[in-house]
Amino acid sequence: MTEARSTGPALPADERPIDPTPVHTADLPATPIRDRNIPATAWVEAPEALLRLGDDIGGPVATYKRRIGRFLLWRAGPASRADARYLALDTATLAEQYTFRLFPDGSGDGIGPDGVRVTRFRLWKEALLAASGLAVSGRHGAVDGLADEEPDR
């Protein structure tokens, strides 16, 4: 796994240029990338479910966001105020997959590795951490700076 390389100042997610350079799983950084977006189409090992993640919400190509425990987090669509879907893939097999759907009104829906349906993005991310054997800590269950909205900012 590599660290996120920075080639310039942090940009809002929707203003980051797409970097189509082919990348392997081991090269996807643990932390958010602030200066560019890696599209699913650049990930050499991308499963079909990821490549089609945005098909039913207008076809946005999913982009890589970060690692959460043993999971790779991708998003198709904008970070807020629009239709979007997140996909978390287990790095060991890529077959264990969980989705969380965000709606324009800010509501959401997803099932995490614990099998529990949640409507808050933060709770879904906490389930990913727990399934990775990592603890949730801090005020209000804060998870290492992961926010409810726009987790890559």
| Inside any domain, residue 80 | yes
| Inside any domain, residue 8 | no
How far is it, in rounded angstroms, from Cα 48 to Cα 153?
27
CA distances, 105 to each of 8, 55, 72, 84 (Å): 33, 20, 26, 11
The model's pLDDT over 79-128, given as tens digits with 9 standing for 90+, comes to: 888 999 999 999 999 999 999 999 999 999 999 999 999 999 999 999 99
Instruction: Please report the pLDDT score of residue 5 as a whole number.
Output: 52
The model's pLDDT over 128-144, given as tens digits with 9 standing for 90+, comes to: 999 999 877 654 444 44
The model carries a pTM of: 0.83
3-state secondary structure of 26: helix
The model's pLDDT over 8-32, given as tens digits with 9 standing for 90+, comes to: 678 888 889 999 999 999 999 999 9
Number of separate domains in the chain = 1
| Inside any domain, residue 149 | no
